[in-house]
Structure 1
Amino acid sequence: MQELQKAWIYLENGDFYEARSFGASGSYVGEIVFNTSLSGYQEISSDPSYAGQFVCLTMPEIGIVGANNQDMECVKIYAKGIICRNYNEFFSNFRADFSFGEFLRANNCMGICGIDTRKLTKSIRTNGSMMMIASSEISSKDELKEMLSKSKRIEDINYIEEVSTKEAYNYYFGKFDFNTMAYETPNTSKKIVAIDFGIKRSILQQLVNAGFSVSVVPNTTKASKLIEGYKNSEFDAIFLSNGPGDPQVLSSEVAEISSLIEAKIPIFAICLGHQLISLAMGYPTYKLPFGHHGGNHPVKNTLTNKIEITAQNHNYSVPDDIVKIADITHVNLFDNTIEGLKYKDYPIYSLQHHPEAGPGPLESTAIFREFAEFINSVKCSK
């Protein structure tokens, strides 16, 4: 195991920690959030929705299963860093290709350990999500404080420009089969265009598994082009993906989505996409105290009256008065915030949580097939 160098953390509330570094070296600024998942640290770190953030993992032991090339949620890591209590450089898993530390170093992402993550999590829960700076080079609290004060806040940065694809592409592969060690390629009968605000590979896999042929396009794609394509029957629906940052920064994307809504194109949206629909409808989003991040959040499905344990990753929520134009389909049982909507006058479904379960429980994955069935009903009503 490599000798771990020292690292120092300064939070904007004045908290200062000395720790150890097992990832990339240097000084990094970002927003700190905590995640309560017990597993799936590779999927968490490679989720583009964490762009610009440090993720404090409440699971104390990290690293024993290593990392591999199959479990990536996107092509690289956009998170600033991963914080854990204890890190294991030694890994033991038949699927592992390298250690978690090697994975972080190759992706220029900090790894910080040797810190009381329970205390850190309580601080975030009390003070809310905060900006922070971590460094393996600078030990001075005052110097770190000054650097943080001069840095941009996460809500002032458009991370979508960084994480979205620059060119359109088609995605064909379903879930990974551990027996054959290959991705399944299910038969697809419907076409959906996914607008990439930071889309995860596991979401694309679930869309394919639901019977969709998926075309992924950049966030800069114009609504006029998509509307023309829909009128010419080039595709059946639009998907708005997850993504990082404050949705109210994305004014140009909101304007384009407004045009898609008015064209009455069937839309399915998750996480950031869910928030962008709300903004396009004229209902501003708001920031939660410390967000929802983890794989154990109970959500009530109001359509079935069943409780689903869900995966979550978001700092923002849609307002309660959106019930004027939409029916609530899902409610978070931790804080009663809105988790799912079906719009009354438009063919639109949206979810705040992550039904693709990457990582997380599989209880909400049925929503992908439900939307596919909804598309069939829309076709029949034309």
Structure 2
Amino acid sequence: MTEQTAVLVLEDGRTFTGEPYGAVGRTVGEIVFNTGMTGYQETLTDPSYHRQIVVMTAPHVGNTGLNDEDPESARMWVAGFVVRDPAIRPSSWRSARSLDDGLVAEGIVGLSGIDTRALTRHLRERGVMRAGIFSGPSLVDSSGRRRTDQDLLDEVMAAPVMTGADLASEVTVAEPYTVEPVRGPASGTEPVATVVAIDLGIKSMTPQRLAERGVRTHVLPSTATTEQVLALEPDGVFYSNGPGDPASARHEIELLRDVLDRRIPFFGICYGNQLLGRALGYGTYKLTYGHRGVNQPVMDRRTRKVEITAHNHGFAVDAPLEGESVAPYDGGRYGRVTVSHVALNDDVVEGLECLDLPAFSVQYHPEAAAGPHDAAYLFDRFLALMTSAKTTHEETAPDATSH
């Protein structure tokens, strides 16, 4: 019986019994739900999902299989994967393998055949929590007897919580690399700008979006120093998405303050938005169940336009929603700040804009490889900010030929 059984155990004691999907074994992590109807390959390979078991709320998953063009990183990062009705076989000319085969190949333990709607409602009411998926040998003890639910729950309760977790160092790139612009040296022209991107769990589409605009991007690990950043003479600095509690990212926050002190244009997304908030002196807090999916409505307060956006975050910035506020850090050292974007479902801060510094950020994903692409203009805004700062610097720099 256990060979065809998989059990999901939540830390509050609720259990769901289904069938193994993907690899057989055990896994534990924070269980979260994703409301996207598409984009599961982007989700699986998004480093922001490190140490999280992802529940897909769309009932039918896997119909387009997996391909070799859409991964957002070199591996799958989810701790586990839960679906209701997996596709029997993929149906796409781009598919290279089935989703099930891909999960098995990367050792991702999953579960299928459960009521994911009931599970999602439970998580909305109780909040995300630790959980474990157990199948195959992990369901029996050394004597061959079926392990009790309490035995499995004990394993779940031994797993680390997400609050206080510093995870960027576990997902960041080992060595720096450079993404050249689509137009640039290859076509005989110089890049329009040079950006240093700090990899906190970056997705491959992000430097690609910059490359499409003629930007050269140097991707550095999360441990990069101010000296390493400045050595590349960046026109702008970018902070990526990533996993973990922003309150724990002390090194990255100090690096960002060095960037802000030098008035280098800054753009951050997702985790980068939270770190800008903390660098400015605002707090962050854990959401009850977070925002994860590709269908989240956000208002850009500058234009009053509503964007449908891609999200993956469990923490948010605690900043005043209305009007301008003075950044609390160091007696207002960074000047005035405004909340530039807000979530229309729950009024969560979705963007920050510094009014006295060339810096802004958003909580969602404008690169959104799987769509939607409503927020792609933010990369243009970043480029305009860098161009403006460069022009201002050139106009105010001393004339070397004057005496």
TM-score (norm 1): 0.92
**Alignment partner, residue 329 of structure 2:** none
Stretch deviating more after TM superposition (361-370 or 132-141): 132-141
Equivalent residues of 2:29, 2:159 under 8 A apart: no
Aligned with residue 364 of structure 2, among 349, 353, 364: 353
Residue deviations 1:232-278 (CA, integer Å, cap 9, x gap):
xx321110000011111212221222222212111110000110111
Q: 1:320 Cα shift?
A: 2.4
**Alignment partner, residue 331 of structure 1:** 342
> Tell me, what secondary structure is at the counterpart of 2:223?
coil
Residue deviations 1:55-102 (CA, integer Å, cap 9, x gap):
111100011110011110001011111111011241111000000011
Equivalent residues of 1:104, 1:110 under 8 A apart: yes
- Supply the distance in 2 between the matched residues of 1:86 and 1:140 (Cα, whole angstroms): 27
Equivalent residues of 1:271, 1:351 under 8 A apart: yes
Residue deviations 1:156-183 (CA, integer Å, cap 9, x gap):
4332122100100012376xxxxxxxxx
**Alignment partner, residue 272 of structure 2:** 273
Stretch deviating more after TM superposition (127-136 or 146-155): 146-155
- Supply the distance in 2 between the matched residues of 1:156 and 1:134 (Cα, whole angstroms): 23
> Tell me, what secondary structure is at the counterpart of 1:207?
helix
- Supply the distance in 1 between the matched residues of 2:161 and 2:88 (Cα, whole angstroms): 32
> Tell me, what secondary structure is at the counterpart of 2:211?
helix
- Supply the distance in 2 between the matched residues of 1:189 and 1:93 (Cα, whole angstroms): 38
**Residue segments in structure 2 that go unaligned for 5+ positions in a row:** 140-146, 183-188, 326-335, 394-403
Equivalent residues of 1:227, 1:263 under 8 A apart: no
1:251 aligns with 2:250: yes
Residue deviations 1:307-354 (CA, integer Å, cap 9, x gap):
111111101111123841312221110011111111122110100011
**Alignment partner, residue 204 of structure 1:** 207
Aligned with residue 163 of structure 1, among 171, 191, 216: 171
Aligned amino acid, residue 238 of structure 2: F
Aligned amino acid, residue 115 of structure 2: D
Stretch deviating more after TM superposition (255-264 or 25-34): 255-264
**Alignment partner, residue 65 of structure 1:** 64
Aligned amino acid, residue 359 of structure 1: A
Cα RMSD between the aligned structures? 1.8
**Alignment partner, residue 355 of structure 2:** 344
- Supply the distance in 2 between the matched residues of 1:294 and 1:326 (Cα, whole angstroms): 28
1:223 aligns with 2:222: no
1:264 aligns with 2:263: yes
- 1:141 and 1:173, CA in 2 relative to 1: closer, same or farther beyond 3 A? farther
1:368 aligns with 2:379: yes
> Tell me, what secondary structure is at the counterpart of 2:67?
coil
- Supply the distance in 2 between the matched residues of 1:17 and 1:270 (Cα, whole angstroms): 35
**Alignment partner, residue 8 of structure 1:** 7
**Residue segments in structure 1 that go unaligned for 5+ positions in a row:** 175-185
Residue deviations 1:115-167 (CA, integer Å, cap 9, x gap):
10000000010011111011112252111111112222223433212210010
> Tell me, what secondary structure is at the counterpart of 1:55?
strand
TM-score (norm 2): 0.87
**Alignment partner, residue 183 of structure 1:** none
Equivalent residues of 2:110, 2:133 under 8 A apart: no
1:45 aligns with 2:44: yes
> Tell me, what secondary structure is at the counterpart of 1:118?
helix
Q: Which has the larger radius of gyration?
A: 2
